[in-house]
Structure 1
Amino acid sequence: MYRYDEFDATMVAERVAQFRGQVARRLSGELTEDQFKPLRLMNGLYLQLHAYMLRVAVPYGTMSSKQMRRLGEVARKYDRGYGHFTTRQNIQYNWPALVDVPDILDDLADVEMHAIQTSGNCIRNVTSDQYAGATAEEIEDPRPYCEMIRQWSTFHPEFSFLPRKFKIAVTAAEHDRAAVKVHDIGLRLYRNDEGETGFEVIVGGGLGRTPYVGHTIRKFLPKKYLLSYLEAILRVYNLEGRRDNMYKARIKILVNSEGAEKFAEMVEDEWAQIKDKDIDLPREEIARINDYFAAPAFEKLSEESAALEEKKAADKDFARWVRANTAAHKAPGYAIVNISLKPIGGIPGDISDVQMEAVADIAEKYSLDEIRATHEQNLVLPHVKKEDLYTVYSALKDADLATANIGMVSDIIACPGLDYCSLANARSIPIAQRISERFADLDSQEELGEIKIKISGCINACGHHHVGHIGILGVDKKGEEFYQVTLGGSGAEDAALGEIAGRGLSSDQVVDAVEKLVGVYRERRQDNERFLDTYRRLGAEPFKEALYEAA
């Protein structure tokens, strides 16, 4: 795990001190809200529907127990006793008082955390696979490259005021858990036919008002040129991206208006001018960063655990949790543990201060002091011995964090919606809660298998509804909340945008409609197909018929 050096520590401390002065000027009336807005946004502070909201960066989703414990303390001391994990692997606090925000940032700086570049038209928090460094699927840990990008992009003088916000994701596994194809830049680390390791560079993905799946503009980029190639992309975007219309300012608009082939040519031309200009890191610096992500000293264990098998045989709920919430680890005798933040009837992504401290304690004892946040609003303990799984499960159960539903119908992504957000048209959270309650039976959920439901309260798509197997978009219809359903989306390696099924549904209709859609899948699936596989095989019509029969 990366640790701050003296430059990081100084930079964060100076930014907190600077913002403390800006907050004092706002509170005294010296600054108006309009004057204060660009200053607070540079420090991750938003003004939402009812209060300020502070977004804290969790670079590439990796945290220590100490950091998680501090997040819990902040929730208790300065907020209402909880935080909300987002689809950017960050955490948000929904109720901080403005006067307290500098103190919050000071407390976070003590544990090497901050809120820099979690807002504004800059390069945002770089995200990655939550299983990075733990799964045998990957060819190498992608997080060192995320860290290189973080250091390169933080306060970059050319890219601090881009035409629009900018998001980068990196993966190194065959199964894409980072949704790289729907980011401004997605990077897939792989080994080519010659045995060399490098990146597929995907540009122009994104959701929101005009959703696109990204285009591959370079099939193979040698690793040593990562930063100079990114710089070339950002330079082209900074010069050519639109600034006259915020709805057309994202790089996806530029790529798709110019065409992917022409955009790639523009990038290659720019790159040819800068690739040998000392932008890329020297070998020694790459080695230094890589050392921070060296694999832990895993114990030499047997792949099988007799104690684990005994506990599974004796406790069916535990056995279900193991099936649903654990994944294979690269080290024999270890497992990856997923912690669901989607209890039945709960608010997706929310976690209390007490629960944060419980996760910190568990990670410190049983996961080599490491925790991950996922872009699906859950948490991960990446390195747990199989022989410790029952103890971990029991501790999570005591903290109400042992719901066995990862990837299932109640593991719903939902934005804060109209309960918090001033941009929203409709509520997301109550719809998610009602759907999870309708499908509360975990045996039934397990039988249904993977179904990804994603809900957004407005067209900005913070709930990623475009790439849900079932997507739900809140819309305003003459002052009433309605919901548009999309079908067949995916944010994984088979990325696709969902198709609009038809007219919007009222709040009273939407949960019944989801149940009808799942019913078609249950009746028509073959050979344990996923919902998405059945949809792709059958096409939209049987699902549309059921949807509007329900309406």
Structure 2
Amino acid sequence: MYKYTDFDRQFVRNRAEQYRDQLGRFLDGTLSNDEFLPLRLQNGWYVQRYAPMLRVAVPYGELTSAQLRVLATIARDYDQPSAEVYRTASTTQGAFGTVNMPVGYGHFTTRQNVQFNWIPLEKSADVMDLLASVDMHGIQTSGNCIRNVTSDERAGIAVDEIIDPRPFCELLRQWSTLHPEYAFLPRKFKVAVSGAREDRAATQWHDVGLHVLHNEAGEVGFKVMVGGGMGRTPVIASTIREFLPWQEILNYLEAVVRVYNRWGRRDNKYKARIKILVKAEGQRFIDEVETEYREIVELDGALHTLTQAEFDRVSASFVPPALAGVTQGAINNAAPSHSAEEAVEYARWLKQNVAAHKNPNLRAVTLSFKRLGQAPGDATADQLDIAASLVDRFSVGEVRVTHDQNLVLPWVAVEQLPEMWAAARQAGFARSNIRLLTDMIACPGGDFCALANARSIPIAEAITERYQDMDELHDLGEIDLHISGCINSCGHHHSGHIGILGVDKDGKEWYQVSLGGSDGSTLSGPSTPGKVVGPSFGANEVPDVIEAVLLTYREVRQSGETFIDALRRVGPDPFKVAANGARHTAELELA
């Protein structure tokens, strides 16, 4: 992992001190709300439906156990609303009854951040100080700036990796943090980097997606993709450079963002993302970037050209950790106990939750944070503490946040897998549903977010409750189910094999269902947005619609065929008929 220098550490602590001063002036009336708003946003503080929400940066998804424990402390001691605020929030009614609003939680997001939903604003400076004590912050996790750089959760360890992208992610973080020219872009700007053959970072769905690779001469460089995004207009990023030498990446991104800053729309926030500019201008946008890049190199002196010395300085933090006592050995496929049920459970865990590693004596193990009674990606203070203990015990103090809102332990010894499974099982993290239906992505939705049109959490809960049988889940196989509470698409519904989008109709919650989306992974195929199957469904209809779609899959699938493969082979029509048939059945039952 990258180790903060004295400069990094002082920078973050100074920022926390500045925020405390800004907060104090706001609370005493010296700063108006309009003046304070951009200051809090620049530090990750939103004001949501009922209370402030803090988004904590986790650059390219890497955390230490010490940082996890501080996140647990924040959840336990600060993520607590006043009795009056909680009473107001928890009396909300919906199709699934009264909402039970979770407090004392951290929430892992699809962009490898961590959010808290209930921290009182007057305590926010204390939280910033606490984060700074372990080299964490909320800088540029919100606002119209370059956001947290994301990457593959298996970066540095994946067997299909071409080049470790983490040093480049860190260089991008340092370049973009408080970049004076890009503090007020037309809209937010997101970058994802992958260095593997399989795209586990959903790069084509980002404003800029970067693939680290070799050209035919064996030189290291980047494939540069620009203009991806979800929201109202889902767009797959366009490739504007097939190969860019690695030394030039900051200069080239400077050109990309400068052109966007110059020409991106500021008159309409719904058309302000770079995807709209790229789609509208096409080749002209690429030409503008290339012209700007040449001027940066030839006229401005290419100030951000990376040197080998600078790359080596950062790369020194990303060497494999010393693993005392790790010996060569094969995976023990026998469960730590002798019951037939546990043997099946352990075998499934090895298949779904354990991934191969560059080092044949190690494995990457995913802890599942998807369970009945808990929103996808949520983790209680106690769960965060327990996870930190597992990270210390089995992964030399390092853990990764995944795009799918789980945690990955990247340095688990093969010989420790039975012990790891037993400990994770006792903690409730060993459910073998990774990449299966209930390993769904969901945003916080209308329960928390002021922008949401509908709630996500009750929909996720209803589907999870219906699919608790592990035999059934494993029979259905790998399915990406993504849920968003509004068109802003924080739950990435566009890229789900099955996507669910909350919409508002006359003040009531309705949901669109889409099929056939992909995030670009090997399982899903090329990145593509799903297609809506028909008119919106009521909240109480959604679980029946999902069941009808999956029953159709069972009827049409061929041996060994996944859901997305079957859907693409037979086309969407049988699934549409099934989905809309479920609506008519529900209407008859209500009549």
Q: What is the TM-score normalised by the length of structure 1?
A: 0.97
- Deviation (angstroms), 1:281: 2.3
Return closer, same or farther for 1:398/1:234 CA change in 2, 3 Å cut-off.
same
- 2:29 is matched with which residue? 29
Structure-2 residue corresponding to 1:467: 495
Which residue, 467, 486, 500 being the options, matches 1:458? 486
**2:550 is the alignment partner of 1:523:** no
Following superposition, the deviation at residue 401 of structure 1 comes to: 1.6
Counterpart for residue 410 of structure 2: 382
% same residue: 52
**Alignment-mate amino acid for residue 302 of structure 1:** Q
Alignment partner of 1:544 is 2:576: yes
Please tell me the residue identity of whatever aligns with 1:43.
N
Q: Are the counterparts in 1 of residues 484 and 500 from structure 2 also a CA contact under 8 Å? A: yes
Alignment check: 8 A CA contact 1:301 1:332 kept: no
CA–CA distance in structure 2, aligned partners of residues 210 and 138 of structure 1: 32
Structure 1 CA distance, aligned partners of 2:569 and 2:387? 41
Q: Which moved more, 1:490-499 or 1:143-152?
A: 490-499
The offset of 1:33, in angstroms, is 2.3
Does residue 183 in structure 1 map to residue 206 in structure 2?
yes
Q: Does 2:315 correspond to 1:290? A: yes
Matching residue within 282, 290, 293 for 1:268: 290
- When the two chains are superposed, the root-mean-square deviation of aligned CA atoms in Å is 1.4
What is the match of residue 100 of structure 2?
none
Between the aligned partners of 2:264 and 2:154, the Cα distance in structure 1 is 34
- In the alignment, the residues of structure 2 paired with residue 348 and residue 509 of structure 1 have an alpha-carbon distance, to the nearest angstrom, of 20
Determine if the alignment matches structure 1 residue 132 to structure 2 residue 155: yes
**Is the contact made by 1:139 and 1:173 (CA closer than 8 Å) also made in structure 2?**
yes
Distance 1:342 1:159, change over 3 A: same
Is residue 74 from structure 1 mapped to residue 59 from structure 2 by the alignment? Answer: no
**1:342 counterpart letter in structure 2:** K
Matches within 5 A, 1:398-409: 398-409=426-437
Q: CA deviation at 1:53?
A: 0.5
Moved more, 242-251 or 276-285: 276-285
Aligned in 2, Cα 1:390/1:249: closer, same or farther, shift over 3 Å? same
Instruction: Please say if residues 26 and 33 of structure 1, whose CA atoms lie closer than 8 Å, have aligned partners that are also in contact.
Output: yes
CA distance in 1 between partners of 2:290 and 2:33 (Å): 42
> Are the counterparts in 1 of residues 336 and 422 from structure 2 also a CA contact under 8 Å?
no
Distance 2:149 2:79 in 1: 26
User: Residues 320-355 of structure 1: CA distance to partner in whole angstroms, max 9, x if unpaired?
Assistant: 111111111111121110111111342100001111
Whether contact under 8 Å (1:431, 1:507) holds in the other structure is yes
Partner SS state of residue 314, structure 2: helix
**Equivalence for 1:498:** 530
* Equivalent-residue separation in structure 2 for 1:13 and 1:370 (angstroms): 23
> After superposition, what is the alpha-carbon deviation per residue over 1:236-274, rounded to whole angstroms, capped at 9, x for unaligned?
111111111111110000000001x22211111111111
**SS of 2:504 mapped into structure 1:** strand
Answer whether contact 2:330 2:415 (CA < 8 A) is retained.
no
Is the 8 Å Cα contact of residues 308 and 387 (structure 1) preserved in structure 2? no
Partner-residue secondary structure (3-state), 1:46:
strand
Match of 1:302 in 2: 328
Deviation at 1:308, TM superposition (A): 4.4
Instruction: Tell me if structure 2 keeps the 8 A contact 1:312–1:319.
Output: no
- Please tell me whether residue 483 in structure 1 is matched to residue 511 in structure 2: yes
Q: Give how far 1:60 is off.
A: 0.3
Where does structure 1 lack aligned partners over 5 or more consecutive residues? none
- The one-letter code of the counterpart of 1:77 is D
What CA deviation, in whole Å up to 9, does each residue of 1:342-395 have, x standing for no partner? 113421000011111111111112112110001111110011012111222222
**Residue in 2 that maps onto 1:123:** 146
Is the contact made by 1:303 and 1:334 (CA closer than 8 Å) also made in structure 2?
Answer: no
Query: Cα offset for 1:51?
Result: 0.2
The ranges of structure 1 where at least 4 consecutive aligned residues each deviate by more than 6 angstroms after the TM superposition are none
Give the residue type in structure 1 aligned to 2:380.
S
Partner of 1:510: 542
Contact 2:445 2:484 in 1 (8 A): yes
Deviation at 1:197, TM superposition (A): 2.1
Superposed, which structure 2 residues align to 1:235-384 within 5 Å?
235-259=258-282, 261-275=283-297, 276-298=301-323, 301-305=327-331, 307-309=332-334, 311=336, 315-384=343-412
- C-alpha displacement of 1:75: 1.0
Q: Deviations over 1:9-46 (max 9, x none)?
A: 12111111111111112212223322221111011000
Q: Which of the numbers 247, 254, 267 marks the counterpart of 1:231?
A: 254
Secondary structure of the residue that 2:180 maps to in structure 1?
A: coil
How many angstroms does 1:402 deviate by? 1.7
Query: CA offsets per residue over residues 262-295 of structure 1, 9 Å max, x none?
Result: 2211111111111342212222111000110012
Deviations 1:437-478 (A, max 9, x none): 111111111111111110111110100001110000001111
Structure 2 CA distance for aligned equivalents of residues 313 and 200 of structure 1: 50
Q: Please report how far the alpha carbon of residue 503 of structure 1 lies from its aligned counterpart in structure 2 after TM superposition.
A: 0.2
SS of alignment partner, residue 265 of structure 2: coil
Partner Cα separation in structure 1 for residue 546 and residue 305 of structure 2: 49
The 8 Å contact of residues 392 and 398 in structure 2, kept in 1 or not, is answered as: yes
CA contact (8 A) 2:167 2:314 kept: yes
What's the secondary structure of 1:158's corresponding residue? Answer: helix
Q: Deviations over 1:380-432 (max 9, x none)?
A: 00110121112222222222222210110001111111100011110100000
Contact 1:308/1:386 (CA < 8 Å) preserved in 2?
no
Change (3 A) 1:345 1:518: farther
- Among 178, 181, 204, the alignment partner of 1:158 is 181
The 3-state SS of whatever aligns with 2:249 is: helix
Aligned-partner Cα distance in 2 for 1:521–1:308: 31
**d(CA) in 1 for partners of 2:444 and 2:565?**
29
Deviation at 1:303, TM superposition (A): 4.7
Q: Per the alignment, in what secondary structure is the counterpart of residue 181 of structure 2? A: coil
2-structure distance, mates of 1:542, 1:12: 55
Q: Describe the SS at the equivalent of 1:107.
A: helix
Matched, 1:105 2:105: no
State the one-letter code of the partner of 2:219. E
Alpha-carbon spacing, 1:310–1:545, altered in 2? closer, same or farther (3 Å): closer
Provide the rounded CA distance (Å) in 2 between the counterparts of 1:40 and 1:89: 20
Return the alpha-carbon distance in structure 1 between the equivalents of residues 351 and 329 of structure 2.
Answer: 16
SS at match of 1:381: strand
- TM (norm. structure 2) is 0.91
Which residue of structure 2 aligns with residue 193 of structure 1?
Answer: 216
Count of aligned pairs between the two proteins:
549
SS state at 2:15 partner: helix
SS in 1 for 2:239: strand
Pair 1:5 & 2:5 matched:
yes
2:451 matched to which residue of 1? Answer: 423
Amino acid at match of 2:308: R
Q: Is residue 228–residue 271 contact of structure 1 (8 Å, CA) maintained in 2? A: yes
For 1:304, the aligned partner's letter is A
Change in CA separation of 1:324 and 1:344 when aligned onto 2, cut-off 3 Å: farther
Contact in 1 for aligned 2:150/2:169 (Cα 8 Å): yes
Contact 2:165/2:193 (8 A) holds in 1: yes
Rate the CA distance shift 1:312–1:221 in 2: closer, same or farther, 3 A. Answer: farther
- Work out the CA distance in 2 between the residues paired with 1:167 and 1:338: 25
C-alpha distance in 2 between matches for 1:303 and 1:285: 38
Alignment check: 8 A CA contact 1:300 1:332 kept:
no
1:202 corresponds in structure 2 to 225
Structure 2 residues not aligned, in runs of 5+: 81-103, 584-591
Give, in angstroms, the shift of residue 71 of structure 1: 0.8
Contact persistence 1:184–1:206 (CA under 8 A)? yes
Distance 1:387 1:308 in 2: 11
Alpha-carbon contact 1:45-1:52 (below 8 Å) kept: yes
